[in-house]
């Protein structure tokens, strides 16, 4: 009797009210609500954020010590059980969602099911679509699920403004016409060629944010302007060159070994972060030399700069050639040094620091964080004062970390 009364009360509520009720529940709670009555299921009201994860569908259940095949099958069954009441036919739906995300270790052999989910996300007018198919044993490129980009292009995908892809493969078909309203694109461990990436970016005219992480690329060179791009992140992609024209770029984050970077006409770039990985296994190029002589030409207009570098002087050769380029707008500098000490050359990084300050004449705030290799215990070293220019604009200096040098000032 109580069940019938609840069903009747829910049935008379407006659709917008029902959606608002569901939006305040977790996906698991919303699924339970859908079994209250046939009328509720008939209305095909769904949670606005369909985020299918291991935790959402299995709770604290984990797969690390189980047979992954039946677990994947059960995951697919549970996703389908949630979506089945929302499908009016195999290709259309009367439900609408804001976010559709699948986060579970699946591969190409599950394509039949994933294709249906992608089709549902498009016809349900999802604004954010995410596929993170990362598993315990990540598949090789040949085993990665190939995203049906045609489903997302043209009028069918006009509602999509955010794509988040991980451990999938992207191959642009000949019929691909771009994702009309895409503004944010995030790719992690995605298999895509440099040519397909360029074609994809150039076909998304409204793209504002791009993140590339662990996507093996020989190069990342875009010939034409990305007029709307404001945020760019490149994390361990191994590209030999990064070159693009983004006149409205304001934020750039780079986390990799030293790479040739050309940001043509990015005069609005105000914030940049460079995390240089230790490249001892490659032909050694000193990070300070790169920062002092090259970086001012890459991001000359930057206002706030974050630097993280590994100083390993076992392979270091003192250069710091004179340069006429400067950071003409740099006001805030955050420098993090992981110092791997060589007993014979313990103080050369200080010279690099002084040269860096020379090319930042308008600096107002300096943060210096030093993390020295404490396994190499040395006697305290005296550093001879290195003359440098006066910094009339410098107002704040904050230094942390361990340093056994005397004379740094």
Enumerate the domain spans of the chain.
1-45, 49-179+191-196, 289-409
Distance CA 222, CA 194 (A): 9
pLDDT in tens, the chain (409 residues): 444 444 455 566 676 676 666 666 666 666 555 555 555 555 555 667 888 988 877 775 454 444 456 788 989 998 988 888 777 554 555 567 889 999 999 999 999 999 999 999 998 899 999 999 998 667 677 789 999 998 898 887 789 999 999 999 999 988 888 898 999 999 999 999 999 999 999 999 999 999 999 999 988 999 889 999 999 999 999 898 999 999 999 999 999 888 889 997 899 999 999 998 754 434 445 678 888 888 999 999 999 999 998 776 554 455 555 667 899 999 999 999 876 555 445 566 777 788 888 899 999 999 999 876 555 555 555 555 556 678 888 999 998 876 655 555 5
CA 310 from centre of chain: 22
Q: Quick check: helix, strand or coil at residue 157?
A: helix
DSSP state of 278: P
Q: Quick check: helix, strand or coil at residue 170?
A: coil
Q: What is the pTM of this model?
A: 0.83
φ/ψ (deg, to 5) at 17? -70, -40
DSSP state of 274: E
Nearest 5°: the CA angle 31, 34, 37 is 155
């Amino acid at each position: 009797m109580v069940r019938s009364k609840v069903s009747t009360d829910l049935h008379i509520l407006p659709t917008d009210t029902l959606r608002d009720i569901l939006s305040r529940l977790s996906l698991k709670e919303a699924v339970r609500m859908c079994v209250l009555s046939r009328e509720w299921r008939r209305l095909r009201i769904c949670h606005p954020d369909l985020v299918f994860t291991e935790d959402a569908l299995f709770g604290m259940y984990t797969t690390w010590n189980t047979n992954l095949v039946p677990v994947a099958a059960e995951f697919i069954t549970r996703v389908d059980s949630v979506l089945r009441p929302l499908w009016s036919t195999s290709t259309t739906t009367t439900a609408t969602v804001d976010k559709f995300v699948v986060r579970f270790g699946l591969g190409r052999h599950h394509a039949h099911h994933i294709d249906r989910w992608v089709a549902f996300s498009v016809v349900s007018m999802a604004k954010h679509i995410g596929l993170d198919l990362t598993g315990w044993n990540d598949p090789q490129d040949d085993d990665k699920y190939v995203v049906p980009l045609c489903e997302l292009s043209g009028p069918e995908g006009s509602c999509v403004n955010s794509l988040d892809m991980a451990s999938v493969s992207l191959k642009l078909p000949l019929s691909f016409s771009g994702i009309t309203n895409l503004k944010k694109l995030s790719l992690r461990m995605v298999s895509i060629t440099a040519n397909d990436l360029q074609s994809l970016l150039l076909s998304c005219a409204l793209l504002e944010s791009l993140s590339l992480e662990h996507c093996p690329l020989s190069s990342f060179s875009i010939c034409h302007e990305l007029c709307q791009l404001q945020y760019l992140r490149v994390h361990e992609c191994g590209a030999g060159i990064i070159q693009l024209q983004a006149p409205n770029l304001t934020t750039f984050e780079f986390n990799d070994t030293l790479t040739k970077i050309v940001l043509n006409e990015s005069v609005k770039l105000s914030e940049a972060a460079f995390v240089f990985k230790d490249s001892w296994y490659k032909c050694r190029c000193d990070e300070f030399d790169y920062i002092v002589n090259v970086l001012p030409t890459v991001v000359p207009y930057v206002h706030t700069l974050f630097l993280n570098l590994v100083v390993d002087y076992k392979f270091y050769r003192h250069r710091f050639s004179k340069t006429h380029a400067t950071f003409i707008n740099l006001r805030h500098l955050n420098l993090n040094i992981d110092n791997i000490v060589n007993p014979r050359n313990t103080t050369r990084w200080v010279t690099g620091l002084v040269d860096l300050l020379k090319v930042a004449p308008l600096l107002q705030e300096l943060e210096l964080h030093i993390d020295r290799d404490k396994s190499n215990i040395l006697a305290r070293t005296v550093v001879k004062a290195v003359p440098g220019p006066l910094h009339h604009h410098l107002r704040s200096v904050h230094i942390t970390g361990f340093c056994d040098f005397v004379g740094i000032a």
